[in-house]
Amino acid sequence: MTDGELRALCHRFFDAIERSDFEAVEQHYTPDATLWFNVTGREISKQQSLDVLRSGANLHRRRTYDDRIIQTFDDGFVVQYSVNVVLHDGRRESLSVCAIAQCRDGRISHLDEYLDAGKFRMPGESAAPTARA
């Protein structure tokens, strides 16, 4: 894939997540795609990722993927971005994220996602976890 094709794939993928268009998100993954998330330290399947995205979409009034900085390499891309959410009670939150995608046949075959675990909350948590001394 060319630099332009990889950049376009990255934008289409995150635009689809932003719109909660999960059919389009699925089309951007290869059938055997896997994803790894630094907060859990686990690798999950494409279907598990789609399930997480679907359940997460209901947690926010709005979620945007802003300030995307994309660098490409032979078979993928690295993207840095801010996830900005508006919660149902009107509060706003933001996370800085870096994702590394490996691509094959015009789609994402593996994604590693890194974010500041100190600011991340699992659904239902009222505050970010704190470190113990």
Residues 13-63 have pLDDT tens digits of 999 999 999 999 999 999 999 999 998 899 999 999 999 899 888 888 889
**Topology at the third CATH level for domain 3-115:** Nuclear Transport Factor 2; Chain: A, (3.10.450)
Question: Residue 70 is encoded by which pair of tokens?
Answer: 């994309």
For the stretch 73-128, pLDDT in tens is: 999 999 999 999 898 899 898 999 999 999 999 999 999 999 986 655 544 444 44
Please state the pTM of the whole predicted model: 0.84
User: What is the Cα–Cα distance from 64 to 51, expressed in whole angstroms?
Assistant: 19
Of the pLDDT bands very low, low, confident and very high (cuts 50, 70, 90), residue 129 is: very low
- Give the number of other CB atoms < 10 A from CB of residue 6: 22
For the chain, which residues make up each domain, given as ranges? 3-115
